[in-house]
Amino acid sequence: MQVLNFYSAIFADQLRRGRKTATIRLGDKSHSYRKNELVLVTIGYKYSPRERIFEAVIDQVEVKPINKLSPRDIEHDNPEFRRTEELVTSLEQIYGRKVALTDTVTVVRFSQVIDPAIRDRMRGMGGTQN
C-alpha cells in the first residue's frame, strides 16, 4: 500500500476533522499517486515512527504550475491559506529552497475511507445492547 505522509503534526487535526482533503507536492508526482488508489495517510518524519491517521482513496491527481492553482486547490491543501503567496512560503519551508510561481506542483485530492463498524459505534448504533 502506498503511503501519503505529512511531516507536520499541525496537519493531523486538519486531516482528522476532514478539513484537509488534498496535498500539493512540488514537482510532477503523477507517477507516485494514481486515481482510485488506496493509500495510508500518516504523520511523521523520515526514519522516525509515524502515526497512522486513516486510509484514503485518491480521487484526483493533477499536475500544473503553481500560478494555475485555484483558491479551492490551495484551501483543500491547507484550510488556513487563501492566497498563492501563503502556499509558496509554505512550500519553501517544506522543501528548503526558493519556489517560483512557474514551478510545477501535483495536487493530490483524497477521501478518507471510513470503517462501517467504527462509524456505527460513533453514531451509537453498534456496541452493547441493553
User: Over 80: is that where the pLDDT of 119 sits?
Assistant: no
Domain count, the chain: 1
Residue at 50 is within a domain: yes
Residue at 130 is within a domain: no
User: Over 70: is that where the pLDDT of 127 sits?
Assistant: no
Residue at 52 is within a domain: yes
Residue at 127 is within a domain: no
What's the CATH code of the domain at 101?
3.10.400.10
Residue at 119 is within a domain: no
Bridge partners of residue 24, in order along the sequence: 107
92: amino acid identity, one letter: E
Residue at 51 is within a domain: yes
Tell which wins on pLDDT, 35 or 121: 35
Residue at 11 is within a domain: yes
Please give the pLDDT value at position 86. Answer: 94
Residue at 126 is within a domain: no
Tell which wins on pLDDT, 120 or 24: 24
CB crowding 70-84: b at 16 or more within 10 Å, else e = eeebbbbbbeebeeb
User: Over 80: is that where the pLDDT of 130 sits?
Assistant: no
Q: How many residues does the chain have?
A: 130
Q: Exposed/middle/buried for 114, CB within 10 Å: 0-12, 13-18, 19+?
A: exposed
The residue segments making up the domain with residue 33 are 2-113
User: What would the pLDDT profile of 34-80 be if each residue is shown by its tens digit?
Assistant: 999 999 999 998 899 999 999 999 999 999 999 999 999 999 999 98
